């Protein structure tokens, strides 16, 4: 059966009704899930198995039947481990119906269906008793309900309910406990992901700066954690201000409370500096003694491991303090971690008496300046990139005239202020969002240009001549950046906007940027390929049914799709030279016909061809361009360098999900790419040549 799904097209800006298969959402969920990543996480799986064996052994040593409750069973892997380790019976709970059905098949395939019951419910709906889902309470509780922040997937409410209604008091738990750690750092780079720094503009008569409004200064920022691969952040990008401290632990073998809580640790700075960021991670003990440990500690802490285990389902956390706080070496401060059901946040205070510490209110941070609602963390970094700003200023100087009437088309952009500073006669700005409109008014007021820039809160196709003071636009400017964009080519919305306002442009209008190009390179990933790689067998269990399920969901559409990834976090090596594949001329309106290109790219370096990376480059003028992708083909380790402010598009080759089809030694890859102006989609196809 087909269903109609409404969506706003990020490239064309049109609201579309698409006919989709009724299983579309399910396939999207499976295709973009972390199941392959988790199944390929050898460190996690091995230690879970060790912990489960130990827990079953302790129960058996007491002369008891080992009855297991596995919450969030997924593929049924942990339940199969438990039964293999000697458990008498296992209740495996999985709320996602397609996953529960897959677990049934996987358990049967491994000959364990007689000892494992799959329950397709949320754990809080599971009943116990003669007529219930479980015949009796379990004495072993196994879960994998964790995310990068530990509690973000609802682990605390699930544990609280399980201990009340589903497991025996004093049960064994795998993992037994989890511990959250924190470290105070100063980092200009990370702080630039949360605050707008003064943006300096070199003028002929000196320097001008774009400053943030007062509301932004003390704003605590977005409430959500910034989870990243801290192992890709070099030591030069931050200064450690404290030793690693233990913030809190959760003992999963005892009753767990979801009630809000706070934990304060007094720490002594190891050096003076500006405390801006709290870096945090957790580890878990799979047994009570702590002899089986799985850690998410970054490389500078986990020094015993030459190459820390790679995983994308559990990373590390970056928390921004509400304000940067000066700290002095040896002068104690109190770091407090607050938590509710699903999130954690931090506050730094001068060391106080115990009574004063307990009076701290637990309030989740909420953005009041609106900037954190409009700009995500990479966008803050982009706006704070002085090198990038200098390129735009230099290009604007080339095209802007004293008589220029400018229209800016980009979400929450600082280009209109730059145009003002550089002497444009009049500046207009299109902002379709009320939040963006409100924020930009504050920024313009803080920089005393509120009377020089007119904000038009309309979509491009709705703009009237009167909105522009009945003037024709002689300079159309854009970065371009739009908050709805996920893939690099989604920012081609600028082209559609340019076409929509064509009647309001002068005949000799200057378009800035004047054109764009889509670039491509074949790469070998160090680790990212694992998220799409089949597992086959995991700890001795056949999970090929899951592999097939993921593959079917990836192949669900007629053509496989590229997906966005911030590649500065995911090292890869170039196997081909970068290649320009499509060009888009913004000086002309969007064409009626598709733009396409076919060709062959030679693989000039040896390696496993995991996929193609695609990114956009914008030609601001004939001589100046900015890239949203490749910065340097390879560094001293042979890895590519990517701009950290944008996500690049990754098209994984089918050989990643079906390695048996990989040619022995491909020498080239043929490609066919096409841009459809009606839909704004870029379709692609690749084939290996031996």
b/e 527-548 (16+ beta carbons within 10 angstroms → b):
bbbbbbbbbeebbebbbebbbe
Question: Which DSSP state fits 192?
Answer: T
Q: Which of 539, 41, 43, 58 has its CA nearest to residue 253?
A: 58
Q: How far, in Å, CA of 536 to CA of 111, rounded?
A: 16
The H-or-E segment that residue 179 falls in is strand 177-186
Q: Which of 20, 29, 101, 153 is catalytic?
A: 153
Residue 30 CB neighbour total at 10 angstroms: 22
Dist CA 480 CA 478 (whole Å): 4
Picking from 350, 345, 380, 348, the residue whose alpha carbon sits closest to that of residue 365 is 345
* Phi and psi, residue 388, nearest 5°: -65, -45
State how far the Cα of 49 lies from the Cα of 117, in Å rounded to an integer: 19
Residue found by looking up tokens 């500078």 in the block: 300
CA end-to-end span of the chain, whole Å? Answer: 42
Residue among 486, 488, 479, 475 at smallest CA distance from 517: 488
Pairing type for strands 473-477 and 579-585 reads unpaired
Residue of 94, 104, 144, 149 marked active site? 144
Cis-peptide, bond into residue 390, ω within 30° of zero: no
CA 594 from chain centre, in angstroms, equals 31
Q: Which of 241, 238, 239, 240 is nearest to 331 (CA)?
A: 241
Structure tokens at 180: 């959250």
| C-alpha 347 chain-centroid distance | 24
* SS3 readout for 38-54: HHCCHHHHHHHHHHHHH
Q: Is 144 a catalytic residue?
A: yes
- 153 belongs to the catalytic site: yes
DSSP-derived pairing of the beta strands 426-430 and 453-456: parallel
DSSP letter, residue 476 = E
Q: In the structure encoding, which two tokens stand for residue 115, read together?
A: 């000892």
**Three-class SS of residue 530?**
helix
Catalytic amino acids? 144, 153
């Amino acid at each position: 059966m087909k269903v109609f799904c409404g969506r706003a097209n990020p490239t064309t800006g049109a609201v579309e009704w698409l006919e989709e298969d009724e299983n579309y959402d399910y396939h999207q969920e499976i295709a973009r899930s972390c199941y392959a990543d988790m199944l390929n996480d050898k460190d996690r799986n091995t230690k879970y198995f060790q912990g489960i064996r130990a827990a079953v052994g302790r129960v058996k040593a007491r002369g008891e039947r080992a009855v297991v409750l596995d919450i969030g069973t997924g593929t049924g892997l942990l339940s199969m481990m438990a039964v293999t380790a000697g458990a008498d019976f296992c209740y495996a709970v999985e709320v996602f119906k397609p996953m529960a059905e897959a677990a049934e098949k996987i358990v049967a395939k491994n000959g364990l269906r007689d000892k494992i019951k799959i329950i397709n419910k949320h754990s809080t709906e599971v009943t116990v008793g003669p007529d219930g889902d479980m015949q009796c309470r379990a004495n072993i509780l196994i879960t994998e309900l964790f995310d990068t922040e530990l509690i973000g997937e609802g682990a605390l409410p699930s544990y609280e309910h399980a201990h009340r209604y589903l497991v025996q008091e004093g049960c064994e738990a795998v993992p037994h406990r989890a511990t959250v750690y924190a470290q105070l750092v100063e980092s200009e780079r990370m702080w630039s992901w949360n605050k707008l720094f003064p943006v300096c503009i070199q003028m002929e008569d000196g320097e001008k700066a774009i400053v943030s409004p007062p509301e932004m200064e003390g704003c605590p920022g977005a409430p959500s954690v910034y989870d990243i691969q801290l192992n890709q952040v070099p030591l030069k990008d931050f200064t450690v201000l404290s030793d690693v401290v233990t913030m809190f632990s959760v003992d999963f073998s005892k009753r767990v409370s979801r009630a809000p809580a706070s934990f304060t640790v007094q720490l002594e700075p190891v050096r003076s500096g500006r405390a801006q960021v709290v870096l945090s991670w957790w580890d878990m003990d799979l047994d009570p003694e702590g002899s089986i440990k799985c850690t998410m500690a970054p490389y500078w802490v986990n020094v015993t491991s030459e190459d820390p285990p790679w995983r994308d389902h559990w990373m590390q956390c970056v928390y921004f303090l509400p304000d940067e706080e000066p700290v002095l070496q040896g002068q104690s401060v109190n770091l407090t971690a607050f938590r509710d059901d699903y999130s954690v946040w931090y506050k730094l205070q001068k060391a106080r008496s115990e009574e004063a510490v307990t009076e701290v209110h637990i309030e989740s941070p909420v953005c009041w300046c609106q900037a954190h609602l409009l700009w995500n963390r990479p966008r803050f970094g982009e706006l704070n990139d002085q090198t990038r700003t200098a390129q735009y200023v230099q290009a604007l100087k080339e095209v802007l005239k004293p008589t220029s009437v400018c229209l800016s088309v980009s979400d929450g952009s600082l280009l209109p202020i730059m145009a003002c500073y550089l002497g444009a006669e009049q500046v207009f700005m299109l902002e379709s969002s009320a939040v963006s409109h409100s924020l930009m008014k504050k920024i313009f007021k803080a920089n005393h240009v509120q009377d020089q820039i007119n904000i038009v809160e309309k979509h491009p196709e709705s703009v009237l001549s009167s909105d522009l003071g009945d003037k024709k636009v002689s300079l159309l400017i854009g970065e371009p950046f739009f908050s709805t964009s996920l893939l690099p080519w989604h920012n081609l919305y600028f082209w559609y906007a340019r076409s929509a306002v064509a009647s309001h442009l002068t005949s000799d209008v200057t378009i800035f940027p004047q054109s764009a190009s889509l670039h491509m390179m074949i790469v070998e990933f160090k680790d990212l390929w694992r998220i799409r790689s089949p597992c086959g067998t995991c700890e001795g269990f056949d999970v090929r049914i899951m592999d097939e399920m993921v593959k079917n969901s990836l192949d669900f559409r007629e053509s496989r799709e590229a997906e966005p990834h911030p590649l500065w976090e995911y090292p890869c090596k170039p196997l081909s030279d970068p290649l320009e594949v499509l060009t888009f001329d913004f000086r002309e309106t969007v064409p009626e016909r598709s733009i396409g290109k076919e060709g062959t790219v030679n693989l000039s370096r040896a390696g496993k061809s995991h996929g193609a990376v695609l990114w956009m480059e914008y030609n601001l003028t004939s001589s100046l361009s900015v890239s949203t992708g490749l910065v340097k083909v390879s560094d001293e380790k042979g890895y590519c360098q990517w701009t950290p402010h944008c996500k690049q598009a990754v098209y994984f080759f089918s050989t990643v999900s079906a390695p048996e089809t990989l040619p022995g030694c491909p020498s080239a890859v043929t490609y066919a790419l096409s841009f459809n102006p009606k839909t704004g989609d870029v379709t692609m196809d690749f084939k290996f040549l031996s």
